[in-house]
Homo-oligomer: A and B are copies of this chain.
Amino acid sequence: MGWNDKSGKKNGVEERGFDLVVGDHTVPGVYWAPIDIPSERLVLLGHGGTAHKKAEYIVEIAEMFATEGIASMAIDGPGHGDRAGGGSAKNVNAFVKMWHDGGGTDLILEDWRASLDFIEGEMGPRPTGWWGLSMGTMMGLPMTATDDRIKVALLGLMGTEGPNAKDLLKLAPNVTCPVRFLVQWDDELVSRQSALDLFDALGTSKKTLHANPGPHQAVPRFESRASVEYIDRYLR
């Protein structure tokens, strides 16, 4: 397994699909790189619950990174997208079940590491960051805490109450790279206090919290743009 035939070019970005066998399952992934400029840096994009690796906002972020000469990659989360049995969780309980049935924190860490190994094998190692909110933080905080290839992370929209809250609280003190952490002040899915507590638990001294009014999915566009600038700065 490796690159598949799901490739294409759009908005100055080349997209290439891949499938990897990790343990007893297959991990569907995608890699984006700017077409006309070299990409000497890489960002891992973790999608949110009920979305998938090529959700519209993930592709948009990939295109923003490409503009800065930064390649990116994504894989489907547990039970999401093109995974076996993948679908879209219809409510919070279904989402929690998908997360655990999909193997939870340990398995998704294996999947991300294998995927990063694959891309590094193909393209060579490069300064690498993480970008992921909500379930993208459920995956990304553990990855950032345990894989020293991750040099900077954009995290947020998650707290100490989700399906892998215990893992997040245990691993947060091990996050030592710069982190920007986004909070939606009126988040209906993640309680404000729980999000603040998770930020509080991060071990790095280079952490900044940005909070904006509005519900879970209403992250302002200026924060998305600024998050790309932020990661860009720390991968130089």
Contact = CB atoms under 8 A, between A and B. Distances in A.
Interface of A: 183, 185, 196, 199-200, 205, 207-213, 220
A196 B185 CA distance: 10
Given A196-B196, A208-B212, 6 more contacts: A185-B200, A185-B209, A205-B213, A208-B211, A209-B209, A211-B211
A183 B220 CA distance: 20
B207 A210 contact: no
Given A185-B200, A200-B185, A209 B210 contact: yes
B209 A211 contact: yes
Nearest to A223: B208
A148 B34 CA distance: 46
Contacts of A199: 211
Contacts of A212: 207-209
B210 A210 contact: yes
A235 B21 CA distance: 54
Contacts of A213: 205, 207
14 contacts: A183-B209, A185-B200, A185-B209, A196-B196, A207-B212, A207-B213, A208-B210, A208-B211, A208-B212, A208-B220, A209-B210, A209-B211, A209-B212, A210-B210
A212 B185 CA distance: 17
Contacts of A183: 209
A212 B196 CA distance: 12
Contacts of A196: 196
6 closest A-B pairs by CB: A209-B211, A208-B212, A205-B213, A210-B210, A208-B210, A207-B213
Contacts of A205: 213
For A183, A209, A211, the residue with the greatest tally of chain B CB atoms inside 10 Å of its CB is A211
Nearest to A196: B196
For A196, A212, A213, the residue with the greatest tally of chain B CB atoms inside 10 Å of its CB is A213
Contacts of A185: 200, 209
Contacts of A200: 185
A208 B207 CA distance: 16
Contacts of A210: 208-210
Contacts of A208: 210-212, 220
